[in-house]
Structure formats: structure tokens, C-alpha cells
């Protein structure tokens, strides 16, 4: 998980360099969103596969796809091969990220699981802070391909150790397809989002036709993958799932385009642009720390609204920077506040969804939160990528206008929240 997380955060710093090195800046958004898009398939299939066949088979399959994807990225002669690697990496990483939780459930004693989950949190937190800085230094001192080579070596070694540790895992062979109906809908969703990315690179009228077809297919697939009523933000769990998807998408898009703007428009070095992302990650850690020590009731409408308003500061500050209204220090502060809001919001939403879910539906609803975020990120990056391509003359203002509008939608969703039932 540490190497998966390191790559996820490192790519925000390295991607502008990759796009320029491979002479394919127009594919920046697709290359970035590829892993989140195909991760939908991996996350949907991984849990069911582990239930039917045990943990070893899906873990090996996910590991192979992840490692092959990283290797293709490291050796890519051009952007098509690089994107293919990102697509494979997304499927494999999605499978393994889900199966690892099943491994914990089956191999770690219950009294030790809180410590294990704490380690997994650290596995994401530390790379979020040091990953962009280390990546920037590697890119400046050596080459961007070294970043992916290090992830490849570290992931291969850690996965080999893990597979050896679970070699005695039982291997059931229950009837049924690991893909299942939800897996097929995840494939439809991924193909639809990829279609949106490709449509965004076309000329009129194919841009409009492709965008309309891709959006319609993605909406149909999302309705099948997410809890009923999510697209209408129906009260209860569906609204919480929608909130997580919208908020996560706005946060990811803010972080994705900021290094690109800093490096290509303001001539920042990879280390300097990585530092901006890393400072924002401190805000996330601060928010999680505050939430863990707060006496306020988790999931209250007021606390979620506060978190959403803080998260709105990031895209608004970035919009101010790219339009020349705000200085860089204000944008950095906005990113810290955004991270603080995310650190406050995520634990509350996850806890509230578990509290409102019947015992037999806790796993499915928890998975829905991750699927909603991945789908939200993929769709928003597809839209903003098309906006960026269409607004080459006007710059990044329209892009961050869309992102800020998405974050504002998350705030609006909190206005309709109701307090959780007594005892939750």
C-alpha cells in the first residue's frame, strides 16, 4: 500500500514532465485519470473474486497487472504505451487494494486490526507528504522514469513477501463468475469515461456527439453500481455516497492541474511544485488529527458543512491564482484548508455510512463510497480535460471554474443533510 500510495501522489509532480517529455500534453488528463477509471473494475471485481476463489488468486492477478502497468510506464516510448500502462495499473491496483482488506480480515487477529488499519493510514499519509518532494528531486537530478522504476522494484519485493506470508491461505472454488453483473457495469462505466476523454480531443460535431453518448452511458452504469437514489442525492446513504464522490473529485482535480500550471506557466521546478502539493497534504493530516480528537458528534450537518466549506477553499484559491487575482501563498493556504476539510470529512462520512447500514450491507455501502469517488474523479477529469483543450487561449480559469463549481455542489449537498438517528 505504501508503494501504491507513493506512486499515486508522486504522479501529480511527475506527470507534467512526462507529458512534455513524450510530446503529448493533450493527453495529460487521460493519462492522469486512467488509473482511477479502470480502478473501478478492479475494486468491483476484487472483493467478489476473493470471496469465490480465496485471496491468493486475485492478489497474484492484481499484482501482475499492477507491475506490468508500472513497467510499461517506466519504459514507455510514447504516450499510448504510457496510458496503456496506467490502465493496467488501475485494474491491478484496484483489485489488490480491496483484497488486502480481505487478507487483514482473514489473517490478522481482531484485537490487532485497529493497529493494522492505523499502519495502512500511515502508508497513505507519509507518501502524501514526502512523495511529491522526493519525486521532484528524482526528476530534477536524474530522470522521471526512475520514479516508476523505484515503484516497480519496491512493489515487486513487498508483494513477494506478502504472497509468501499467505501461502497457507485456503483456496475455495465456489461456483460463480468473479466478474458478476456489477463487474460488467464497472467495465461499461470505465469504457464510457475513456470515451469521454477521447471525445474531448475531437473536433465539432464529434466532440458533442461523443460527450453526450459517453455521459449517458456513464450515468446508466453509475445508477447500477451505486446505491439506488445516489444520482438524485436521495436522503440517507445515497446522499452521503454522492457527497463523497463530488467532494473527492473536486479535491483530486485541484491537485492534478496545479502542478501542471506551476511547471508549464510559472516555470516552477518539479521540486517546487511538489512542495505545494506536499504542504496541502499536511492539511489533510491536520484535519484527520482534529477529527480524531473532536467531541462533536460525527456526521452532524454542521460539521460536514464546515468540512465542505474548507474543501472549497482549494479550488477557489487555485482559480484566484490562475486568473491573477490571488498570490501563490494564498493558494498554498487554500490547499492546506482544503486538505483540512478532506481530513475532517472522510472519517465522518465513512463512520456515518457504516452506522446507517444494516450489518449485511456494510461492506457493499463502504465499497460504494470508493466507487463513487473513483467515478467522480474520472468524470470530472474527463470534463476538465476537454475544457482545458478547448480553452487553450484563455488558460486554466475555465478549468478551475468547473472544479470550484463541483466543490460548491458538495457544499450544497450538506445543506440538505439531516442529523443521524439517535444512538448513531
More confident residue, 54 or 336: 336
Residues 320, 384 share a domain = yes
Residues 193, 121 share a domain = no
Mean pLDDT of 163-173: 73
3-class SS string, the chain: CHHHHHHHHHHHHHHHHHHHHCCCHHHHHHHHHHHHHHHHHHHHHHHHHHHHHCCHHHHHHHHHHHHHHHHHHHHCCCHHHHHHHHHHHHHHHHHHHHHHHHHHHHHCCHHHHHHHHHHHHHHHHHHHHHHHHHHHHHHHHCCHHHHHHHHHHHHHHHHHHHHHHCCCCCCCCCCCCCCHHHHHHHHHHHHHHHHHHHHCCCCCCHHHHHHHHHHHHHHHHHHHHCCCCCCCCCCCHHHHHHHHHHHHHHHHHHHHHHHHHHHHCCCCCHHHHHHHHHHHHHHHHHHHHHHHCCCCCCCCHHHHHHHHHHHHHHHHHHHHHHCCCCCHHHHHHHHHHHHHHHHHHHHHHHHHHHHHCCHHHHHHHHHHHHHHHHHHHHHHHHHHHHHHHHCCCCCCHHHHHHHHHHHHHHHHHHHCCCCCCCCC
pLDDT in the model for residue 410: 93
Residue 174 belongs to a domain? no
Residues 154, 129 share a domain = yes
Q: How would you classify residue 149: left for phi > 0, otherwise alpha for psi between -120 and 50, otherwise beta?
A: alpha
Residues 319, 212 share a domain = no
Residues 183, 269 share a domain = no
- Give the tens place of pLDDT for each residue, 201-218: 777 777 777 778 888 888
Q: How many CB atoms lie within 10 A of CB 263?
A: 22
User: For residues 94 and 40, is the Cβ–Cβ distance under 8 A?
Assistant: yes
| pLDDT above 60 (res 420) | no
| pLDDT above 70 (res 250) | yes
Count of the separate structural domains present in the chain: 3
d(CA 261, CA 268): 9
pLDDT in the model for residue 421: 53
pLDDT in the model for residue 294: 63
Of 116, 139, 166, the last residue of a domain is 166
Residue 364 belongs to a domain? yes
| pLDDT above 50 (res 146) | yes
User: For residues 286 and 339, is the Cβ–Cβ distance under 8 A?
Assistant: yes
- Give the tens place of pLDDT for each residue, 75-84: 999 999 999 9
Residues 251, 231 share a domain = yes
Grid coordinates representing 286 are 491536520
Residue 172 belongs to a domain? no
Residues 412, 351 share a domain = yes
**Nearest of 91, 84, 77, 83 to residue 31 by alpha carbon:** 83
pLDDT in the model for residue 365: 72
Mean pLDDT of 235-262: 89
Residue 423 belongs to a domain? no
Residues 73, 3 share a domain = yes
Residues 111, 69 share a domain = yes
Residue 424 belongs to a domain? no
pLDDT in the model for residue 120: 75
Mean pLDDT of 400-405: 94
pLDDT in the model for residue 403: 95
Half-sphere exposure of residue 279, counting CA atoms within 13 Å on the CB side? Answer: 19
pLDDT in the model for residue 424: 45
Predicted confidence band of residue 423 (pLDDT cuts 50, 70, 90): very low
Residues found in the chain: 424
Residues 127, 206 share a domain = no
Residues 84, 3 share a domain = yes
pLDDT in the model for residue 313: 95
Grid coordinates representing 209 are 456527439
More confident residue, 4 or 117: 4
Kindly report the backbone phi and psi dihedral angles of residue 333, in degrees, each rounded to the nearest multiple of 5, phi listed first: -60, -40
Residue 422 belongs to a domain? no
Half-sphere exposure of residue 135, counting CA atoms within 13 Å on the CB side? Answer: 35
Grid coordinates representing 120 are 495502512
pLDDT in the model for residue 419: 56
Q: What's the domain range around 197? A: 179-224
- Give the tens place of pLDDT for each residue, 268-323: 888 888 888 778 778 877 887 777 666 655 567 788 899 999 999 999 999 999 99
More confident residue, 261 or 368: 261
Which stretch of 98-107, 204-213, 398-407, 415-424 has the lowest confidence by average pLDDT?
415-424
d(CA 346, CA 307): 9
d(CA 259, CA 261): 5
**Nearest of 334, 318, 187, 198 to residue 262 by alpha carbon:** 318
Mean pLDDT of the chain: 82
Residues 246, 330 share a domain = yes
d(CA 44, CA 363): 12
Residue 171 belongs to a domain? no
**Nearest of 371, 381, 98 to residue 245 by alpha carbon:** 371
Residue 281 belongs to a domain? yes
- Give the tens place of pLDDT for each residue, 101-129: 778 777 878 777 767 776 777 777 778 77
Rounded to a whole number of angstroms, the CA Rg of the chain reads 20
CATH of the domain at 363: 1.20.1250.20
Amino acid at each position: 500500500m505504501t508503494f501504491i500510495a507513493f506512486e499515486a501522489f508522486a504522479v501529480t509532480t511527475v506527470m507534467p514532465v512526462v507529458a512534455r517529455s513524450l510530446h503529448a500534453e493533450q493527453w495529460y488528463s487521460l493519462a492522469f485519470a486512467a488509473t482511477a477509471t479502470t480502478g473501478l473494475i478492479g475494486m468491483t471485481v476484487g472483493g467478489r473474486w476473493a470471496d469465490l476463489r480465496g485471496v491468493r488468486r486475485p492478489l497474484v492477478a492484481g499484482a501482475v497487472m499492477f507491475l506490468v502497468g508500472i513497467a510499461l510506464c517506466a519504459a514507455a516510448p510514447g504516450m499510448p504505451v504510457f496510458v496503456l500502462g496506467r490502465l493496467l495499473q488501475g485494474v491491478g491496483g484496484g483489485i489488490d487494494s480491496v483484497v488486502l482488506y480481505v487478507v487483514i480480515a482473514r489473517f490478522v487477529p481482531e484485537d490487532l486490526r485497529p493497529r493494522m488499519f492505523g499502519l495502512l493510514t500511515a502508508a497513505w499519509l507519509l507518501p502524501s507528504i514526502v512523495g511529491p518532494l522526493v519525486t521532484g528531486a528524482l526528476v530534477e537530478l536524474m530522470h522521471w522514469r526512475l520514479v516508476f522504476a523505484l515503484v516497480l522494484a519496491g512493489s515487486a519485493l513487498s508483494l513477494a513477501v506478502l504472497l509468501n506470508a499467505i501461502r497457507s491461505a485456503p483456496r475455495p472454488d465456489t461456483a460463480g463468475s468473479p466478474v458478476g453483473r456489477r463487474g460488467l457495469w464497472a467495465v461499461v462505466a470505465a469504457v464510457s469515461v475513456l470515451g469521454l476523454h477521447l471525445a474531448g480531443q475531437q473536433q465539432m460535431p464529434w466532440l458533442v456527439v461523443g460527450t453526450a453518448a459517453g455521459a449517458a452511458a456513464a450515468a446508466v452504469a453509475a445508477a447500477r453500481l451505486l446505491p439506488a437514489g445516489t444520482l438524485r442525492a436521495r436522503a440517507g446513504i445515497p446522499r452521503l455516497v454522492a457527497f463523497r464522490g463530488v467532494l473527492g473529485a473536486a479535491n483530486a482535480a485541484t491537485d492534478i492541474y496545479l502542478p501542471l500550471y506551476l511547471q508549464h506557466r510559472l516555470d516552477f521546478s518539479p521540486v517546487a511544485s511538489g512542495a505545494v502539493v506536499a504542504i496541502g497534504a499536511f492539511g489533510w493530516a491536520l484535519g484527520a488529527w482534529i477529527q480524531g480528537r473532536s467531541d462533536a458528534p460525527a456526521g452532524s450537518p454542521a460539521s460536514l458543512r464546515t468540512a465542505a466549506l474548507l474543501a472549497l477553499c482549494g479550488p477557489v484559491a487555485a482559480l484566484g491564482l490562475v486568473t491573477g487575482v490571488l498570490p501563490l501563498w494564498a493558494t498554498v493556504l487554500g490547499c492546506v484548508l482544503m486538505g483540512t476539510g478532506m481530513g475532517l470529512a472522510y472519517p465522518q462520512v465513512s463512520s456515518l455510512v457504516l452506522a446507517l447500514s444494516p450489518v449485511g450491507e456494510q461492506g457493499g455501502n463502504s465499497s460504494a463510497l470508493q466507487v463513487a469517488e473513483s467515478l467522480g474523479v474520472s468524470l470530472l477529469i474527463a470534463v476538465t480535460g476537454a475544457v482545458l483543450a478547448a480553452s487553450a487561449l484563455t488558460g486554466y480559469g475555465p478549468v478551475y471554474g468547473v472544479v470550484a463549481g463541483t466543490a460548491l455542489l458538495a457544499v450544497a449537498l450538506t445543506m440538505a443533510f439531516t442529523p443521524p438517528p439517535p444512538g448513531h
